[in-house]
A and B are shown apart, each in its own frame.
Chain A
């Protein structure tokens, strides 16, 4: 079942914060976050496995809620290099990763 990402697109000015959400109707086994720039391969950001988990560094971090049905990616004090499309990929145990439709992020100088 494909996870639902929101928002579909967001435009920020450099230095502003953004939150991208990824949700599922069922409890998940894992959540993977990737960023893809136009015409390039998706680049791995992080993976979350435990309910209530938070990881990342102060600029880019993510959380996985206790019920393991929602994950959020936090971009703090965004930089121009953060522009791209962000995908979450989710899986159930022993199952393949299914990617959401993506969130396009555009950072303005």
Chain B
């Protein structure tokens, strides 16, 4: 199957700082990338959908000014958590899809565990 990477895999930061997470599709072009947040033993909560070259679509309740998403190319999307606080600590997972259609497979990255002190 297709490979999606995320960097970093773990990050610990101080409250108030910003953290950037990268999501790359390594062997295919991803028209659409999705960003999820997952709490321990919970489901995947979709935060936003990003399409290459356009603004991301955020889910209800997700602050777009706090979670900045950039999808600059067909192989790279970034999520920046701005002015991070302890409640932002979570497991962030991206997925990539070649078409973004709901019938298309989403390939998930390995996730990034963010801890905000």
Contacts and interface: CB of A to CB of B under 8 A. Distances in A.
Given A40-B110, A41-B111, A42-B108, A94 B44 contact: no
Contact of A42 (B41, B42, B44, B46): B44
Interface in B65-117: 93, 101-103, 105-111, 113
Interface stretch (A15-23, A43-51, A64-72, A75-83): A43-51
Interface of B: 1, 4, 34, 41-44, 46, 49, 93, 101-103, 105-111, 113
Given A41-B93, A41-B111, A102-B43, A96 B102 contact: yes
Given A30-B103, A32-B106, A87 B43 contact: yes
Given A32-B105, A49-B103, A95-B102, A44 B43 contact: no
Interface string A1-30: 010000000000000000000000000011
Interface of A: 2, 29-30, 32, 34, 39-44, 47, 49, 85, 87, 89, 91-102, 104
A91 B102 contact: yes
B23 to A, nearest CB: 11
A102 B111 CA distance: 17
Contact of A29 (B4, B46, B102, B110): B102
Contact of A44 (B101, B107, B109, B110): B107
Contacts of B49: 96
A96 B46 contact: yes
B105 to A, nearest CB: 5
B55 to A, nearest CB: 16
A104 B103 CA distance: 25
Contacts of A91: 102-103
